[in-house]
Amino acid sequence: MAGESKAKVIPLHSNSGRSTAQRRAAAARADSSRRHPSVFSDSGAHASAEQIAAVVREIDQARGAAAGAGGADATPSELAKRIGAGAEFIRQRMMGDYTVDEFGFDPHLNNAIFLPLLRGLFKSWFRVEVSGVENLPVTGAALIVANHAGVLPFDGLMTSVAVHDNHPTNRDLRLLAADMVFDMPFVGQAARKAGHTMACTSDAHRLLAAGELTAVFPEGYKGLGKHFKDRYKLQRFGRGGFVAAALRTKAPIVPCSIVGSEEIYPMIADVKLLARLLGLPYFPVTPLFPLAGPVGLVPLPSKWHIQFGEPIYTSDYDEASADDPMVTFELTDHVRETIQQTLYQLLANRRNAFFG
């Protein structure tokens, strides 16, 4: 008929064997054709760009809504992505298409294996909250100085995830760890590949001179192995070697306060005889370890908060300051006091150790 529209509506195919998401997307396309006939008509070649864009937007919105409603339809594509990523990872490893720095750090392995494993603990078990990331430099060196606790050094691992996942450029955090870590089979090699190195002034200086974000835990074993009754009371900060490294490289010092790590293994006693026999700095006794056996090795799910404080700049100090014990002592004490006061503030705002 002369007055009849020439629009060709896209026919809906049979619904048998089609998912809800697919039916909704098809219905959306048909609805779009009815509301924008010129785009789907024989004369649609002359349709305006605005009309075409409007239809495309509607179809995309319908697909997005359908994918949200039918999550099962999105699973295969997500699984395909993971399989593809895994295949690409294996290909790069086999072809040697990755780099390792002079310390043994393997960013390719760290990003693909170590960080995803730690991310589960970070997000679901400890439910870590992070604040003050804006105090970390976008580029260049900085020395992060943090409190240390919890029998096992989960605080260092969680801090590395906090930096990588919350920093605007996803920077890697290089941890300075105790010598014993690198003496342990498999653990030492994994630590090297994850970017950790020995907690000595020379390695700290080399990392900072290379512009790396570096973390140190000056309490060492004194912090990790303290009794639960002494929780959140900072121990002595060594001899200030980390401060000397920051002064020599003009790197800012960023105090970092961690709340939550003290509760993962509440240490009620230290069996010193067993510690000496086993060559350990301490042998902890907690409410679950060693009585509960392997179950006692599972950390309790305390609620964490990691806060990075305002940087303490070292650029105004002269070169001789790094060798001046009075300067290093004063700066070390200032950093320690800053962390301690921040811990008190975070604890005052915390309602419960396990629920925040």
Tell me if 121 is assigned to some domain: yes
Tokens, residue 310 = 């305002």
DSSP E strands: which ranges in 114-195? 129-131, 142-146, 173-177
Q: Identify the H or E element spanning 174.
A: strand 173-177
Q: How many CB atoms lie within 10 A of CB 189?
A: 12
Tell me if 1 is assigned to some domain: no
Q: Which residue has the higher pLDDT, 83 or 148?
A: 148
Question: Residue 27's pLDDT is what?
Answer: 53
For 67, 97, 116, 172, the CA distances from 85, given in Å and listed in that order, are 22, 15, 13, 21
Q: Which amino acid is at 290?
A: P
Tell me if 108 is assigned to some domain: no
Q: How many CB atoms lie within 10 A of CB 167?
A: 19
Residue 216: CATH number of its domain: 3.40.1130.10
Tell me if 213 is assigned to some domain: yes
Domain count, the chain: 1
Question: Residue 282's pLDDT is what?
Answer: 96
Q: Which domain holds residue 182?
A: 113-264+299-348
Tell me if 62 is assigned to some domain: no
Does residue 245 register a pLDDT over 50?
yes
Tell me if 44 is assigned to some domain: no
Per-residue pLDDT tens for 142-196? Answer: 999 999 999 999 999 999 999 999 999 999 999 999 999 999 999 999 999 999 9
Tell me if 242 is assigned to some domain: yes
Tell me if 22 is assigned to some domain: no
Give the confidence band of 39 by pLDDT, cuts at 50, 70, 90: very low
